[in-house]
Amino acid sequence: MPIATQFSLKLENRPGALATTCSELAAKAVNIQAIVAEAWQPGRVRLVVNNTETARKVFEAKGIDFSEEKVLVVRLSDRPGALGRITRKLAENQINIDYAYGSIEKGAPKALVILGVSELEKAAALVK
């Protein structure tokens, strides 16, 4: 799964806005696989979920302003240099990284990293 749909939400910048959204997704059995809240743009949240169709329906039903884009999804070993190797490979192929975020669960063998890149298909072929 080197390519996934990422949602970019515009939530109200108030206590509980994110909690409500996460709870609504959970009520429909949508699991959030990766998330980042953008401090430089209050209320903006990017997330990748396990069920894009259901998430889309939740956002529409709740009147949440959102957009979608395809992103590169990479699972990396939890070892020093793993991210450096993949980003070097992208750089050597003239692929720009616009943003990145990731997560790992303690003890998990792989980290999940989301990359917004300039040439998605080319990048996906490089990281397979």
Task: Give ranges for CATH 3.30.2130.10 in the chain.
Answer: 3-69
Predicted pLDDT at 1: 56
Predicted pLDDT at 50: 93
Task: Give ranges for CATH 3.30.70.260 in the chain.
Answer: 71-127
Q: Which residues of the chain have pLDDT under 50?
A: none
Predicted pLDDT at 28: 97
Predicted pLDDT at 94: 96
Predicted pLDDT at 31: 92
Into which CATH architecture does domain 3-69 fall? 2-Layer Sandwich (3.30)
Q: Model's pTM, two decimal places?
A: 0.85
> 71-127, superfamily in CATH?
ACT domain (3.30.70.260)
Helix axes of 120-127 and 82-92: crossing angle, nearest 10 degrees: 130
